Amino acid sequence: MNLFTRLKEGLSKTRSQITSIVGSDSNFGEEFYESLEEAMISADIGLELSLEIIDRLKFEINSLKIDSVHEAYTIFKQMLAKDLDVIKMPEEFPPKPWVTMVVGVNGVGKTTTIGKMAHELRQSGKKVMLGAADTFRAGAIEQLRIWAQRTESQFVSQHEGADAASVAFDSIEAAKARDTDVLLLDTAGRLHTKVNLMNELQKIVKVIRRNTPHAPNEILLVVDATTGQNALKQAKVFNDILGITGLIITKLDGTAKGGVALALTKTFGIPIRKIGVGEGLDDLQDFDPMDYVNAMFGDI
Ligand SMILES: Nc1nc2c(ncn2[C@@H]2O[C@H](COP(=O)(O)OP(=O)(O)OP(=O)(O)O)[C@@H](O)[C@H]2O)c(=O)[nH]1
Ligand SMILES: [Mg+2]
């Protein structure tokens, strides 16, 4: 089964409209742009960015003197893919341990994503450790412990209610002692609007940095694709406070949208590291801009 099925199905109506326009070159004109705009808005790209893309597209098409709708559609898709394509720093390099901290609002899929990432890293032969710095939610430590067992990763935790920064500190020390390649740190979900909780994240980073200046190497923000444009507000606050280095978009299997990915990369210039397309171990994929655009807008 194609993992993008839902995304593709959801946009099938707008896509068939576009396809019918593209099928007859005589319809090329305002109607074409209006269909694209409608399609982008229903894909959750957002009004402002959609209008800006249409402007750029018109400019491009006029200056290239394109008169085939088919070609124009290809240029449109390439334009979206380019907006999604933020240059990535390499994901891994010495010194050990590589420390990835995972943050985001409640329930977006942080812990599950850590489990999937651990699985992927284990499959490539890495020594992985999971650090349970979500000491807040009941059951969070146990949930991560199960992922550690499933993926044969090392595991560090303290008791529920312990200081999250102290767990982060312990985890790094343990990772060093056990020659771990990658330490994945889980954190508690928190509303970006709660200042004291956001400050706690800053404290975790500070404690990590004081211990190991090169860490955390990555601070990944997990965003649920089904939340739509609110994801932009989340990203702004987390990025202002922590300096996010990568994005993970989850639950793309459960939405007809997905355009928020574009709004995020365009607005913040932060690369999308992975996408989540289900609840299982293997449901994490690398992000490919053109594949993603094709899932939203189809091959025609
Ligand atoms: N369909 C689908 N479900 C997902 C995906 N990623 C996570 N989930 C589900 O989303 C729910 C929440 O996942 P968690 O990993 O616990 O989310 P979290 O961000 O760690 O939550 P908190 O720690 O409570 O903030 C679980 O039921 C997961 O199985 C995904 O890509 N697709
Ligand atoms: Mg969690």
Q: Are residues 179 and 206 in the same domain?
A: yes
What whole-number distance in Å separates Cα of residue 128 and Cα of residue 115?
11
115 CB within 6 A, ligand 1: no
Pocket test for ligand 1, best of 234, 279, 281, 285 (most atoms within 8 A of CB): 279
Q: Which domain holds residue 185?
A: 98-244
107 CB within 6 A, ligand 1: yes
pLDDT in tens, 225-280: 989 889 999 999 999 999 999 999 999 887 767 889 999 999 999 999 999 988 99
Q: Are residues 111 and 174 in the same domain?
A: yes
Average pLDDT, the chain: 89
Distance 276 CA to ligand 1 centre (A): 10
Distance 196 CA to ligand 1 centre (A): 24
Give a yes or no: residue 252 inside a domain: no
Residue ending a domain, among 18, 50, 84, is 84
Kindly give the number of the ligand 1 atom that is closest to the alpha carbon of 105: 25
Give a yes or no: residue 269 inside a domain: no
Distance 106 CA to ligand 2 centre (A): 7
Pocket test for ligand 1, best of 3, 4, 6, 112 (most atoms within 8 A of CB): 112
**SS3 assignment, position 240:** helix
**SS3 assignment, position 100:** strand
274 CB within 6 A, ligand 1: no
pTM metric for this prediction: 0.92
- Cα separations in angstroms, 151 against 77, 140, 227, 283: 38, 17, 29, 14
What whole-number distance in Å separates Cα of residue 133 and Cα of residue 189?
11
What whole-number distance in Å separates Cα of residue 211 and Cα of residue 203?
12
Q: What integer is the mean pLDDT of 106-112?
A: 97
Nearest CA to ligand 1 atom 17: 109
How many percent of the chain have pLDDT more than 70? 88
Q: Are residues 76 and 106 in the same domain?
A: no
Q: Are residues 32 and 128 in the same domain?
A: no
Residue ending a domain, among 62, 84, 106, is 84
Give a yes or no: residue 182 inside a domain: yes
Give a yes or no: residue 296 inside a domain: no
Give a yes or no: residue 27 inside a domain: yes
CATH number of the domain enclosing 49: 1.20.120
Q: Are residues 59 and 157 in the same domain?
A: no
Distance 259 CA to ligand 2 centre (A): 25
Give a yes or no: residue 294 inside a domain: no
CA angle 277, 202, 269 (to 5 degrees): 50
Q: Are residues 28 and 109 in the same domain?
A: no
Distance 134 CA to ligand 1 centre (A): 14
Q: Are residues 158 and 205 in the same domain?
A: yes
289 CB within 6 A, ligand 1: no
The answer on pLDDT for 114 being more than 70 is yes
Largest CA distance in the chain: 69
**For tokens 């990369």, what's the residue?**
265
Handedness of CA 136, 139, 140, 144 (dihedral sign): positive
Count up the domains in the chain and report the number: 2
CATH number of the domain enclosing 240: 3.40.50.300
Which residues have C-beta within 8 Å of that of residue 210, sequence separation ≥ 6? Answer: none
Kindly give the number of the ligand 1 atom that is closest to the alpha carbon of 278: 32
pLDDT in tens, 197-234: 899 999 999 999 999 999 999 999 999 998 988 999 99
Six token digits for residue 271: 């690369």
Give a yes or no: residue 183 inside a domain: yes
| Contact yes or no for 129/152 (Cβ under 8 A) | no
Q: Are residues 106 and 199 in the same domain?
A: yes
Kindly give the number of the ligand 1 atom that is closest to the alpha carbon of 276: 31
Q: Are residues 63 and 184 in the same domain?
A: no
Q: Are residues 108 and 80 in the same domain?
A: no
pLDDT band at 141; cut points 50, 70, 90 = very high
Q: Are residues 125 and 24 in the same domain?
A: no
Of 298, 290, 261, residue with least CA distance to 277 = 261
Q: Are residues 33 and 158 in the same domain?
A: no
Of 189, 119, 179, residue with least CA distance to 149 = 119
Nearest CA to ligand 1 atom 13: 109
What whole-number distance in Å separates Cα of residue 67 and Cα of residue 77?
16
Kindly give the number of the ligand 1 atom that is closest to the alpha carbon of 107: 21
